[in-house]
Chains A and B, each alone.
Chain A
Amino acid sequence: MPEFVMPDLAPVMPEIVMTILALVTLIADIIFKRKETLAILSIASVVLVFFVLFGTPFKTTFNGMFIADGYSLFFKLIFLLNVVLTVLISMRYLVIERVNFGEYYSLILFATLGMMLMASAGDLIVLYLGLELMALSTYILAGFITYDMKSNEAAMKYFLLGAFASAFLLYGISMIYGLTGTTDLNAISEYIILNGLTANPVVMLSMILFAVAFSFKIAAVPFHMWAPDAYEGAPTSVTAFMSVGPKAAGFAVLGRVFLIAFGSVRMDWSAVLIPIAILTMGVGNIVALSQTNIKRMLAYSSIAHAGYALLGIIAGTGEGLASVMNYLLIYAFMNIGAFAVIIMLRTEGFKGDTITDYEGLAKSHPLAAALMLVFMFSLTGIPPTAGFMGKLYIFMSAVYAGYTWLVVVAVIFSAISAYFYLRIVMYMYMREPKESVSLAATPALGIALAITAAAVIIIGVLPSAVVSFARAAVAGF
Chain B
Amino acid sequence: MLPKLFFGYYAVVIIVLSLLVVTRKNPVHSVMWMLLLFFHIAGLYLFLNAEFIAAIQIIVYAGAILVLFLFVVLLLNLREELLIERFIGTWPTALVISVSLLILVIRAIQDMALAPPGNHSVDAIQAETHTVALGKILYTDYLFPFEIASVVLLIAIIGALVLAKRKMRSPQ
Contact = CB atoms under 8 A, between A and B. Distances in A.
Interface of A: 1-5, 7, 12, 19, 26, 35, 62-63, 65-66, 94-95, 98-101, 103, 106-107, 110, 113, 117, 123, 125-126, 129-130, 132-133, 136-137, 139-140, 143-144, 146-147, 155, 177-182, 191, 195, 197, 200-202, 204-205, 348
Contacts of A101: 162, 166, 170
B151 A113 contact: yes
Contacts of B137: 2
Interface in B84-127: 104-105, 107-118
A200 B113 contact: yes
A201 B170 contact: no
Interface of B: 104-105, 107-118, 136-137, 139-145, 148-149, 151-152, 154-156, 158-159, 161-163, 166-167, 169-172
Given A110-B151, A146-B167, A205-B105, A179 B115 contact: yes
B155 A137 contact: yes
Nearest to A129: B148
Given A125-B145, A133-B151, A136-B152, A3 B140 contact: yes
A126 B94 CA distance: 32
A200 B112 CA distance: 8
Given A2-B137, A2-B140, A202 B108 contact: yes
B155 A201 contact: no
B115 A191 contact: yes
B113 A197 contact: yes
A132 B155 CA distance: 10
Contacts of B145: 65, 123, 125-126, 129
Given A101-B170, A179-B115, A201 B107 contact: yes
Nearest to A152: B163
Nearest to B117: A181
A452 B149 CA distance: 35
B148 A95 contact: no
A122 B117 CA distance: 22
A190 to B, nearest CB: 12
Contacts of B155: 107, 110, 133, 136-137, 140
Contacts of B172: 95, 98, 348
B105 A130 contact: no
